[in-house]
């Protein structure tokens, strides 16, 4: 009986490890957010908020190119917030 229980627990753990996290972002989310931020930056007035937003956009791009999509989208969202677009 212990073998069946152990195997069942291992199977459930493996299923959770392979399943994507709920609300996790993907590459398409990064691409969409990058375009949004780029458009917002192109129309933004120069200033501290624009510089900070550009820094956030660069961080977002770095995370997205490292396949850390959720973190990248978070930085892009912060950039939009700094630009007053979110």
Cβ burial, residue 33 (10 Å; 0-12/13-18/19+): buried
- Residue 18 domain-assigned (yes or no): no
What are the pLDDT digits (tens) for 76-86? 999 999 999 97
Domain limits at 42? 24-86
- Residue 16 domain-assigned (yes or no): no
Rounded-to-integer distance, Cα 78 and Cα 86, Å: 8
- Residue 4 domain-assigned (yes or no): no
22, 29, 15, 39: which is closest to 63 by C-alpha? 29
- Residue 37 domain-assigned (yes or no): yes
What are the pLDDT digits (tens) for 2-60? 444 444 444 434 333 333 455 789 999 999 999 999 999 999 999 999 999 999 999 99
- Residue 78 domain-assigned (yes or no): yes
pTM of the model: 0.72
- Residue 5 domain-assigned (yes or no): no
DSSP string, 1-47: -HHHHHHHHHHHHHHHHHSPPTT---HHHHHHHHHHHHHHHHHSPSS
SS3 at position 67 = coil
- Residue 85 domain-assigned (yes or no): yes
Domain count, the chain: 1
């Amino acid at each position: 009986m212990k073998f069946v229980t152990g195997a069942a627990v291992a199977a459930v753990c493996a299923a959770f490890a392979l399943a994507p996290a709920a609300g996790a972002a993907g590459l398409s989310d990064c691409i969409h957010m990058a375009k949004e931020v780029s458009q917002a930056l192109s129309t933004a007035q120069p200033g501290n908020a624009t510089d900070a937003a550009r820094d956030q956009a660069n961080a977002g791009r770095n995370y997205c190119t490292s396949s850390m999509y959720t973190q990248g989208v978070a930085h892009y969202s912060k950039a939009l917030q700094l630009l007053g677009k979110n």
